[in-house]
Amino acid sequence: MNLGDLRQIKLWLQLLDSLLAGLALMAAYFLRVGLLPDILPLESREIGEFSLYLPYFAMMAILAPVVLSRCGLYRHFSGRGRQANLAAALEGCLILFLASIAVIFFFKQAPSRIVFILFVPVFFCLLLLREEAYFRFRLFCRQIELYSIRLLLVAKSAENSDRWINLFSDAPVGVQITRTFPAESGSIADFVRALHEDSAGIVLFDVDTHHLNWTAQAIQACEEEGVEAWLSADFFGTQIARARFEEIVNRNLLVFRSTRAGTWQSVIKILFDRLAATLLLILLAPLFLVIWAAIKLESPGPAFFRQRRSGRHGDPFTMIKFRTMQSDAEMRKAELAALNEMSGPVFKIKKDPRVTRVGAFLRFTSLDELPQLMNVFLGQMSLVGPRPLPTYETLAMTANAQRRRLSVTPGMTCLWQISGRNEVTDFADWVRLDLEYIDQWSLWLDFQILLRTIPAVLFGRGAR
């Protein structure tokens, strides 16, 4: 057998979850009609006719398997724990709830919102029951040695063979390793003979770089036999980047990616950045005018400070801020170099003599950062992301790990901003916080950072 059986099970699970989503919304409706009025004084006229909910039953049934798949509920072969599946199920239920509320708002319909609130726990409980039933089904299949996959393992050593055997023994699907084939001594003819004798549907290659020529011939033999081939990429030694095969210009490439891109979350982040920046620029226009006048009245020079900063992958762009220093601040930087309080390539002074009185207030309140909303609007920055450094400071970086903070779009606020901002005096800590953000990024993390930025700004914690 091959992994097609498991993929067919995934399709059956998606169809079942589609049915459960429709049933969950129906059950929520009848709970609202028949049970809640006996418990809470709710007016039945607010519920609406049953026919009003029929399009929502169809919508939930269609969206449920798509959303749950994106949340990772069907990654049973990845070896994720059951808690991860429960978290994916809960996330999917909440996304479906938000989608239904958005549809109600857009079409200005009047179904009971309580029905959709009840949908979340009802559907989540049904998913829990379905997951438990599927877990026990897989356990039963393993106990009676009903395997879904016959796998031939090609390993570079006995130690690697034992490691894969132990991993698959704990896998949530039945994998029968028919034999381990030595990559260093076996010939292609022997390999093909073993393939025929074992009737294997999958061959897993865990080899070294000096076995790649032999492996290429073996994979070609698998292709001719119609057998699925897996190639472990551990020999590259990557710890953060994840390898994926992608078809690019009609060629299969093994792609290593250490940042999340091309996901629905990243698309939503871009749309939210542009829309939020547009709205804030309109609402804050009177405040911009007041700050511009205050800066011009106190000291000569332009009200806006423009500086070349490093964007994603170091691509330079012009970042805009309100000017907080005297107009000759850049020329006086060399004479103040000995007062730098920041380790690494970054230059910061707590009591910088170049800062004006209006500038000190703007820095304390972070109002000087507001013009960067224009950079966000132009797509050069994001609301949340590692702070962009001047190009000359980026060029002074010597460690590759420090430059990895350039792998994402820079932002107006990040973990460094809410962790005391300039109270962080070690550039290594600054980089650590940025890399922590990159590795753990999600829309929820962005939302948390935005919320925690508000008190950090209001109370001027760590501001300079």
For residue 208, what is the domain's CATH number? Answer: 3.40.50.10700
pLDDT recorded at residue 17: 92
**Predicted TM-score (pTM) of this structure:** 0.55
User: Domain tally for the chain?
Assistant: 3
Residue 397, classed as helix, strand or coil, is coil
Q: Which of 114, 143, 172 is the last residue of a domain?
A: 143
Q: Please report whether residue 203 resides in a domain.
A: yes
30 with 79, same domain: the answer is yes
- Find the domain containing 10 and state its range: 4-143
Q: Are the C-beta atoms of 176 and 30 separated by less than 8 Å?
A: no
326 with 424, same domain: the answer is yes
Residue 150, classed as helix, strand or coil, is strand
125 with 161, same domain: the answer is no
Give dist(CA 407, CA 385) in Å, integer: 10
State in Å, rounded, how far the first CA of the chain is from the last one: 65
pLDDT recorded at residue 122: 93
326 with 237, same domain: the answer is no
138 with 8, same domain: the answer is yes
Q: Please report whether residue 191 resides in a domain.
A: yes
Q: Please report whether residue 463 resides in a domain.
A: no
Q: Please report whether residue 464 resides in a domain.
A: no
156 with 125, same domain: the answer is no
Residue 315, classed as helix, strand or coil, is coil
288 with 424, same domain: the answer is yes
Q: Please report whether residue 448 resides in a domain.
A: yes
Chunk the chain into consecutive blocks of 10 residues (it has 464) and report each block's average pLDDT, rounded to whole numbers.
Answer: 56 89 90 72 62 86 90 68 79 90 79 86 93 81 67 79 71 71 79 81 80 84 78 67 59 60 74 92 93 87 88 84 76 57 57 78 86 92 89 72 77 78 64 83 87 73 51
pLDDT recorded at residue 2: 40
273 with 228, same domain: the answer is no
Give strand pairing partners of 420.
Answer: none
Among candidate residues 131, 219, 136, the one with its CA nearest the CA of residue 183: 219
120 with 171, same domain: the answer is no
Q: Please report whether residue 115 resides in a domain.
A: yes
- State CA 243 to chain mean position distance: 16
178 with 97, same domain: the answer is no
54 with 137, same domain: the answer is yes
pLDDT recorded at residue 121: 92
User: For the chain, percent helix, then strand, then coil, each to nearest 5?
Assistant: 60, 15, 30
Count, in order, helices (H) and strands (E) of the chain. 16, 10
Backbone angles phi, psi at 196, to 5 degrees: -70, -45
Q: Please report whether residue 353 resides in a domain.
A: yes
Q: Which of 122, 143, 164 is the last residue of a domain?
A: 143
Q: Which of 257, 281, 313 is the last residue of a domain?
A: 257
pLDDT recorded at residue 189: 85
Q: How many residues does the chain have?
A: 464
Residue 128, classed as helix, strand or coil, is helix
43 with 62, same domain: the answer is yes
Alpha helices in 199-236 (DSSP H): 212-225
Q: Please report whether residue 449 resides in a domain.
A: yes
